[in-house]
Amino acid sequence: MPRIRTTIGVLACLTLPLAACASSSAQIETTDHTVTVFAAASLGQAGEELITAYRTEHPDVEIIATYAGSSQLVTQMVEGASADLLITADTATMKTAQANIDALAQARPQVIASNKLVLATAPGNPASVGSVNDLASPGVITALCAPQVPCGRLAQQELAQTDITPAKSTQEANVSAVATKISSGQADAGFIYSTDAKALSASQNITIIELPGLESNSYPMALTEAGQANPTARDFASWLTESEQASAILAHYGFNPA
């Protein structure tokens, strides 16, 4: 039986040079029954359930998914990696992709969901973080996404709006890495998406602090030229945007409607 082959870009691409990741992805042999997806790291858990649900109705289809920071995925594609679908964690990154990747130049992105950045604390909140202001307190360690990825840009926007400079901070490649820093107690607090916070709160006593000054970020999906030519990729893309089942799965993981 065909299998789901998932490349966890969050792990693989942190241990290999970007060029190596791009080369590996570019060499994948695909058919009309194979769909290659590059998706934002924050879609990891939901993405796997979406793939499983789709393949329940289409068991002859193989879906190869790579999850990593949105800007990292774009860099891999610029360097030669190929994909049928690209899903980023904000519209700015998708616009950058379209401006720099010929295979996406004529794409018409569709938003499949939205999310919102929050501030989350380590289990038990040992540093007593109650607001963004507390990040400036001596000794408090804040985990941040790198500024070039959507969660990093949003975090920098929040810090600029509140005029706060964290006392100490770490810079991570993507939101999943920030969530790991928080859950392991290596950081006292960090900026993650509400979906990641929901997943952490299911098993750990974390404090979630809303950031009302920030707008929600959209998750646009675009078919590349290869995806447009692949009927299975087109069908999977339509299923993601139009099916009630896909919407229900995304909602279950805390994503808001497009």
Q: What is the model's pLDDT at position 221?
A: 98
Do 228 and 86 touch, CB atoms closer than 8 A? no
SS3 state at 217: strand
Paired tokens of 96: 């950058």
Task: Give residue-wise pLDDT tens across range 102-122.
Answer: 999 999 999 999 999 999 999
- Provide the CATH topology of domain 117-209: D-Maltodextrin-Binding Protein; domain 2 (3.40.190)
Q: What is the model's pLDDT at position 258?
A: 82
- pLDDT tens per residue across all 258 residues of the chain: 333 444 434 333 333 333 333 333 333 344 568 999 999 999 999 999 999 999 999 999 999 999 999 999 999 999 999 999 999 999 999 999 999 999 999 999 999 999 999 999 999 999 999 999 999 999 999 999 999 999 999 999 999 999 999 999 999 999 999 999 999 999 999 999 999 999 999 999 999 999 998 999 999 999 999 999 999 999 999 999 999 999 999 999 999 998
Distance CA 194, CA 43 (A): 12
Tell me the pairing of strands 117-121 and 189-193. antiparallel
96's CB contacts (< 8 A; 6+ apart) are: 71, 74
Paired tokens of 210: 């809303």
The ranges of the chain annotated as CATH 3.40.190.10 are: 5-114+219-252, 117-209
Tell me the pairing of strands 34-40 and 85-87. parallel
Distance CA 176, CA 179 (A): 5
Q: What is the model's pLDDT at position 31?
A: 53
Highest CATH level, class, for 5-114+219-252: alpha beta
Could you give the dihedral angle defined by the CA atoms of residues 159, 165, 169 and 172, in that order, rounded to the nearest 10 degrees? 30
